[in-house]
Structure 1
């Protein structure tokens, strides 16, 4: 019985009906064409979303990588200046201590490898270290109770995300005078 019903359904197209009443395309063909157009638009939309996501992740990754690289360089410049300050302390404690006061004296170091003390003063917004995009300064202060010099080295830079800085604070004492 099921087989006969199937025959009946398939034979309905050949009943001799006038051409105007017969479907223009066999059943499913016109709807398949419409679906394929919708499917193409949908697939293009999904591809655009995926492509946008991939580009966004790539840009974010490059931005993070660049920040990490610059942050690492800034840390190295701060460490280099801290080491230079230690050497100055070791050369002559009295001269080194005279470079600081209780409120703090700031020095702008524009050269990557300083050989002498620069004039005191805060770095300006364009006082970059030679050949870099970094601004480096050190503030030396004398805490009122301890026989030490407090060194605060700041290295800063500006990029598309804003201004960033690395700070290194070191307590320097005259280790030769210690008991």
Structure 2
């Protein structure tokens, strides 16, 4: 009688293969988490850039409506309501917890130096900031508005 020899994997070989596969999956998941985190930060940066442009367009409209009123305004204004932008109630610093910008993590601030007399240009600083994963981010624009544009 001939006895058949069965070939099989040893316990050590199985442990080595399992360990290598586990390390591969852990590294893959770690890379995926970093990529998703960066993607979310970039998504929020796109929203912030949109909010900067939205406020800049509104300021251009205000400039066209009344240059004297627009150029005489000075101070820090908070525009955290995306549906109703108005000068009323906007003067002052932005609250620690933002209101209604979507997602509600943003603070949209406008700094105007003002021009007490008659001037041809007014510079502004629009800053949209947010905090994500314990780190502060911001998108900023410094448009210059002219009387004759």
TM-score normalised by the chain length of structure 1: 0.70
Q: CA offset at residue 161 of structure 1?
A: 4.8
Compute the TM-score of the two structures, normalised by the length of structure 2: 0.83
Contact conserved, 1:135 with 1:157, CA < 8 A, in 2?
Answer: yes
CA distance in 1, matches of 2:39, 2:32: 10
Structure 2 partner of 1:46: 20
Distance 2:90 2:26 in 1: 51
Aligned-pair CA distance for 1:43: 1.0
Q: Deviations over 1:22-53 (max 9, x none)?
A: xxxxxxx9xx88x7222111111111110111
Query: How far apart are the structure 1 equivalents of 2:96 and 2:22?
Result: 42
What is aligned with 1:108?
A: 78
Q: Within 5 Å, which residues of 2 pair with 1:143-154?
A: 147-154=120-127
53, 61, 64: which one pairs with 1:79?
53
- The structure whose residues are more often helix, as a share, is 1
Tell me: higher relative CO, structure 1 or 2? Use CA pairs within 8 A at least 6 residues apart: 2
After superposition, the C-alpha distances for 1:101-151 in whole angstroms (9 at most, x for unaligned) are xxxx110112103342033111121133355221111001148xx732111
1:163 corresponds to:
136
Question: Distance in 1 between the 2:100 and 2:135 partners?
Answer: 19
Number of residue pairs the alignment of both structures matches? 140
Q: Secondary structure at the match of 1:175?
A: coil
Other structure's SS at 2:14 match = helix
Contact 1:129 1:136 in 2 (8 A): no
Task: Provide the C-alpha distance between the structure 2 equivalents of 1:110 and 1:40, rounded to a whole number of angstroms.
Answer: 59
Larger Rg: 1
**Structure 2 stretches lacking a partner, 5+ long:** 1-5
Structure-1 residue corresponding to 2:100? 129
Cα distance in structure 2, aligned partners of 1:150 and 1:173: 9
